[in-house]
Amino acid sequence: MPAEADPTLAALSDQLILVAVLFYVVAMLGYALDLAFGRSSTRSSEAAAPAEEAAAVPAGAALATVGGGVTTAPEKDGDAGAAVTGDAGTGTDAPAGGRGPSPWVLRAGPAAVVLSWIGFALNLGSLLTRGLAAGRWPWGNMYEFVVAMCLAAMGAFLLMQLRYPIRFLGAFVSAAAALGLGFAVHSLHVETGPAMVALNSYWIAIHVSAAIIASGLFIVAGACGVIYLIRHDAAAHLPTREELERVAHRAIVIGFPIWTFAVIAGALWADKAWGRYWGWDPKEVWAFITWVVYAGYLHARATAGWKGKAAMAVQLVAFASLLFNLIGVNIFFEGLHSYAELPG
């Protein structure tokens, strides 16, 4: 492992991240336009919104009122099957607004998706160049970890929106990613270089990657949870609660086993590095709490009286403990996971 980092690559990495933030911000604006004024063809609602409400939305946003999760998006190949059946066979498209939205607004959504893919590529490039500069896996300190988490959140969203009609989440995920990257650049940035001795292990690739991927999925679920709770019943331009629940559940069902794996991989690494696989270090305590509360969410969804709002609240508690574990523990507690290398 080289003791000296490559300064050119390191500088390139720092510049790439700034451009990535820029793309995320513009993408966020695009998603916001799409959410507010677009016909939002990727949305479907279980219950038909009252026509007068829909008409009250500026620019006459039209609602696709379809049952059974059938969407009217021609580009959504995933729904070809549902179109065979439909719910009770009434898959009709009923635009409720008056005028259609102006054409450039219609393009805001797809354009935002393209912009976020570019931002994602830049974000990835920044992480790769940073890793190459130091000659190691690029998640050796807090700055790199937060950058990787933003990448994972954006990646989870972009991949999920290929399959599910969740473009509405874009505004929230890109805002979170832009803020996260901004926070990382502004207050966590440290010069790249060799990682601490304890991190010189192939386990960093396994354990930290799994934790990052799971976190990305949990962020998508968390965004759904936040929208779920702030959403008014009248806010017709936001997706329905059922939809939000479904997307959050999907993300967690994928994320939870990955998180389980990340915790177990961490235990295996701890066994190699510290002489015990589990020692209730603050990071371990909070990883455990996060795991238990997400498990609680999965159980709550299957328990009468806990479905819906209560389950969503549980999910958000789990999400909060996840965030606390990823960021708070490194700052507030001193433990074996003190690899944060916070500046100053």
| Residue 205 sits in the site that holds other proteins (CB under 8 A) | no
User: Cβ of residue 257: shortest distance to other proteins, in angstroms?
Assistant: 5
Q: Is 198 in the site for other proteins (CB under 8 A)?
A: yes
Smallest separation, CB 50 to other proteins (Å): 26
Looking at residue 134, its amino acid is A
Mapping DSSP to helix (H, G, I), strand (E, B) and coil, where does residue 297 land? Answer: helix
Segment near other proteins (CB under 8 A), from 1-9, 22-30, 39-47, 217-225? 1-9
Does residue 300 bind other proteins (CB under 8 A)? yes
Question: Tokens representing 154?
Answer: 């954006």
Binding residues for other proteins, total number by CB under 8 A: 73
Q: How far is the CB of 97 from other proteins (least distance, A)?
A: 27
Q: What are the residues whose beta carbons fall under 8 Å from the beta carbon of 8, sequence distance 6 or more? A: 133
- Does residue number 172 form part of the binding site for other proteins (CB under 8 A)? no
Interaction residues for other proteins, span 245-284 (CB under 8 A): 246, 249-250, 253, 256-257, 260-261, 264, 267-269, 271-282
Q: What is the DSSP letter of 239?
A: P
Instruction: Please give the residues from 71 up to 110 whose contact with other proteins meets the rule CB under 8 A.
Output: 77-82, 84-85, 87, 89
The full DSSP string for 89-130 is: T-------SSSPPPHHHHHHHHHHHHHHHHHHHHHHHHHHHH
Nearer to other proteins, 237 or 301 (CB): 301
Q: Which stretch binds other proteins (CB under 8 A): 12-20, 29-37, 146-154, 289-297?
A: 289-297
Give the whole-angstrom CA distance, residue 119 versus residue 132.
20
CA distances from 185 to 20, 21, 144, 219, 233 (A): 12, 10, 10, 20, 38
* Nearer Cβ to other proteins (192/215): 192
User: Using CB under 8 A, which of 11, 162, 303, 342 touches other proteins?
Assistant: 303
**105-144 binders of other proteins (CB under 8 A):** none
On whether the CB atoms of residues 165 and 46 are closer than 8 A, the answer is no
CA 282/CA 20 separation, integer angstroms:
33
Which residues in 316-335 contact other proteins (CB under 8 A)?
321, 329, 333-335
Please tell me whether residue 185 binds other proteins under the rule CB under 8 A: no
Tell me if residue 4 falls in helix, strand or coil. Answer: coil
